[in-house]
Amino acid sequence: MNKTILIVDDNKNFVKALKSALIDKNFEVLTAHNIKDAEIVAKEHEPEFCIVDLKMPGESGLKLIPRLLEIDPQTNIVILTGYAHVETAIEAIKLGATHYLSKPVEVDEILAAFDKKEGNPDTMINDTVASLDDVEKEHILSVLKKNNNNISATARELKLHRRTLQRKLGKI
C-alpha cells in the first residue's frame, strides 16, 4: 500500500505539479487548498505525511499543525513557504512540524525533510546578510499576496505610486 500524503496549498498549479511528482514516487496524494478543507480530508484519511503552505487566505498553515497532530499525533508535517522567516520557522517546529522549507523546493528535498527528526549541530551558519534588494522584494511580494495580487491596493499600502510598484515587480 502507498504512503498517504496531504498537500495543503492555495496555489493550485503548485499543488498539481507536486501531486504528480509524489504520485511518481508511489504516494497516495490528497489535496486541500485551505485549512478548513485540510482538516476534513485529514479526519477522513489520517495521512502519514502533510505538506502545508505557511501563507494561505484566511488562517496560516501554523494554525493547522496542532489540528493535524490532534487528528493523528504520528503525522509528519513539513511547512513550506515562499516567505521564510526565523520566527515562523521556530513556531512551526515548536507547534510540532517535522521541518520547515523555503520555496522553491524539489520533491526530494521535501521527502528528505520528513526524515529529519533531529537537529544537525554541524549545519553551516550563513554569514551573509540579505541584501536590501532581497529584503525589499520579499516585503513587496508578501504585501502583494496579502492583497490578493491587487497592485493598486498593494501600492497604497506600501505608499508607492502604482507605476513605481509595477516597475519594481517587473524586476523581480
Average pLDDT over residues 155-160: 92
For residue 115, the model assigns a pLDDT of: 81
- Hey, how many other C-beta atoms are within 10 angstroms of the C-beta on 136? 14
Per DSSP, what are the bridge partners of residue 102? 81
**pLDDT score for 1:** 54
Assigned C-alpha cell, 155: 501600492
Q: Which three cell numbers stand for residue 86?
A: 526565523
Q: Cα-Cα-Cα-Cα dihedral of 11, 14, 16, 19, to 10°?
A: -120
pLDDT of res. 84: 65
Q: What is d(CA 98, CA 44) in angstroms, rounded to the nearest whole number?
A: 22
3-state SS assignment for residue 72: coil
Domains in the chain, start-ordered, CATH in brackets?
A: 3-114 (3.40.50.2300), 132-171 (1.10.10.60)
Question: Computed over its alpha carbons, how large is the radius of gyration of the chain?
Answer: 17
Q: What is the pLDDT of residues 86-120, one digit of tens each?
A: 777 888 888 888 888 887 888 888 988 888 766 55
Q: Which three cell numbers stand for residue 52?
A: 502545508
Place of cell 520579499: 138
Q: What is the pLDDT of residue 52?
A: 93
What's the sign of the alpha-carbon dihedral 134, 122, 51, 105? positive
pLDDT recorded at residue 163: 92
Segment 30-87, tens digit of pLDDT: 999 999 999 999 999 999 999 999 888 888 888 999 999 999 999 999 998 876 677 7
Measured in whole angstroms, how far is the alpha carbon of residue 117 from the centre of its chain?
Answer: 19
According to DSSP, the residues that pair with 81 across neighbouring strands are: 102
Q: In this predicted model, which residue has the larger pLDDT, 83 or 141?
A: 141
